[in-house]
Structure 1
Amino acid sequence: MEIKELNNVDIEGYSGNEIIFTSRSGKRDADDRAKGLRAINAMGLEDNTGLGLSVVDKNGVIEVQQMKRMDGPDITIKVPKGVTVSFTHTSPHGSEVNIKDVEGEIEISTVHNGINLTNVTGPMTINTVHGNIEGSLSATLKNPISIVSVHGHVDLALPTTVKASVKMSTVYGEIFVDPEFKVDATTAGGLNKYSSDTVTAKINGGGVDITLSSTHNNVYLRKK
């Protein structure tokens, strides 16, 4: 599934077989002048859902886009847990993206949006320019996992039982790691503090490759 320029969206994995769209927005006032007409935009998209969304199947890939550029519906999308989810957003008009309980591959690229990840497994490639990225991952992870912000912080929680090979980097920020993840460092506020630009660690002997990076902000690795 490819989701493009959706300003307000929560994506949740569930055990069903269908993709379900629901709106959390209040009911819009009916436009009497639009009766008998259909909503389209300059990209040729048509609201075929009644939710302010265009949803089309292109060669087996579901493409989701909102009709309005600045405004837009507040949408929850439930997907079968193993579905691959791709989300891209470039405008400054969006809110945080929330992804929960998805067991398929996740690809996210945003300019301004913050990103929240809850109980996801990967593989995943998460990139944002200005947003913060926060996550609490599943104990069952899949290679590879890359989580990168240019200006925002990256804050990730992992189960202490997970087997992972972690690479953390920052240019202008600092790196903080929970002491239960055994990496040599000084202590700062209950987390270990690292001064070098890049820190690598093997958790429980190593395993899934995890990359955490922020150019201008801090990187946090904490226990779940």
Structure 2
Amino acid sequence: MKIVFKLVGLLVLGFGGVTLLSADELWFEGKTQELAVEEGADIMLSVSSEDGDIRVVGEDRGSIEVTLSDFKADDPKRNRAAIMFTEDNGFVRVKLNLVGKLRKTDIVIRVPQRISMRLNSVDGDLRVDDVVGELDVSAVDGDVVLQEVEGGIVANSVDGDIRIILSDTGFKSPISMVTVDGHVHLVTPSNFHADFSASTIDGTFKSDLEYRVKGGGKNFWGDGVNMNGQFGEGGPPLSMKTIDGSIFVKEK
């Protein structure tokens, strides 16, 4: 099905130095800019930030709305920001392009609930609420919090905690949670089934859910654990790893 974008705000400017070949650009005039998409679009959203938090909220909506906390329309020296988008054989790519000081702004994005995302933050936290789709998120010196999410998930952090609260609709796709210096928290529905691995060098593994150990045990090079196990009847792979931190699994 062909996907049609409709521009909200009707602002498309050609400032040099911020271009993406074969992509259209929707430039910001104020703190908030919106890009409307056709219902049912297959969307991949990419966002990167430095020294700022990223929050994404899934809603029953037909557009992507981005708010930048530090954007000042009346500042002639402000740097530019644009929503860049392209379609390739029915697959839509949307990228937030921040230049200069706006790379350090806090970002709030409201999206359709069914969307895939690639989010990266340096010196900032990442939070995603109420989204169904593939998530690839990473933070350096920041926490990762994913709440009421469903889909394949890769969550990484350096010097930060990772917390994932799964939706009640079930665990159907692989999940990887890896942090170097932080804790790993997973909150699951009651009917949770997974084949898991848990590894920590300096920390503990605690689970409110019953599980069966299928291999491994205490880490021979530290005080942590390195085990394989099964929740319920087993299911998609779940990987939980930290070097300096503990792993917690809880039931809703």
TM-score, structure 2 normalization: 0.69
Question: 1-side partners of 2:233 and 2:212: how far apart?
Answer: 12
Question: 1-side partners of 2:164 and 2:140: how far apart?
Answer: 18
5+ residue gaps in structure 1? 41-46, 48-52, 185-193
Aligned equivalent of 1:12, options 57, 70, 76: 57
Residue aligning to 1:97 = 126
Structure holding more strand per residue: 2
Q: Which has the higher contact order (CA 8 A, sep 6+)?
A: 1
Alignment check: 8 A CA contact 1:3 1:64 kept: yes
Question: 1-side partners of 2:74 and 2:65: how far apart?
Answer: 24
Aligned equivalent of 2:67, options 11, 22, 33: 22
Alignment check: 8 A CA contact 2:118 2:135 kept: yes
Question: 2-side partners of 1:127 and 1:26: how far apart?
Answer: 27
Q: Kindly, what percent of the aligned residue pairs are identical?
A: 23
Question: What is the CA-CA distance between 1:204 and the residue it aligns to?
Answer: 1.8
Residue aligning to 1:55 = 83
Matched, 1:65 2:97: yes
Alignment check: 8 A CA contact 2:197 2:226 kept: yes
Question: 1-side partners of 2:117 and 2:102: how far apart?
Answer: 23
Question: 1-side partners of 2:84 and 2:167: how far apart?
Answer: 31
Alpha-carbon RMSD: 2.4
Residue aligning to 2:237 = 209
Question: 2-side partners of 1:2 and 1:169: how far apart?
Answer: 29
Alignment check: 8 A CA contact 2:70 2:102 kept: no
1:38-91 per-residue CA deviation (whole Å, 9 max, x = no partner) reads x44xxxxxx3xxxxx3321145311113334487433321111221100122x3
Question: 2-side partners of 1:112 and 1:213: how far apart?
Answer: 17
Matched, 1:138 2:167: yes
Q: Quick one: which amino acid aligns to residue 4 of structure 1?
A: S
Q: Quick one: which amino acid aligns to residue 54 of structure 1?
A: A
Alignment check: 8 A CA contact 2:200 2:226 kept: yes
Of 10-19 and 143-152, more deviation after overlay is shown by: 10-19
Count of equivalent residues: 194
Matched, 1:149 2:179: yes
Q: Quick one: which amino acid aligns to residue 136 of structure 2?
A: E
Superposition pairs of residues 176-195 of structure 1, within 5 angstroms? 176-178=206-208, 180-183=209-212, 195=218
Alignment check: 8 A CA contact 2:171 2:236 kept: yes
Change (3 A) 1:135 1:62: same
Change (3 A) 1:18 1:144: same
Alignment check: 8 A CA contact 1:5 1:65 kept: no
Residue aligning to 1:223 = 251
5+ residue gaps in structure 2? 1-44, 220-224
Question: 1-side partners of 2:59 and 2:102: how far apart?
Answer: 30
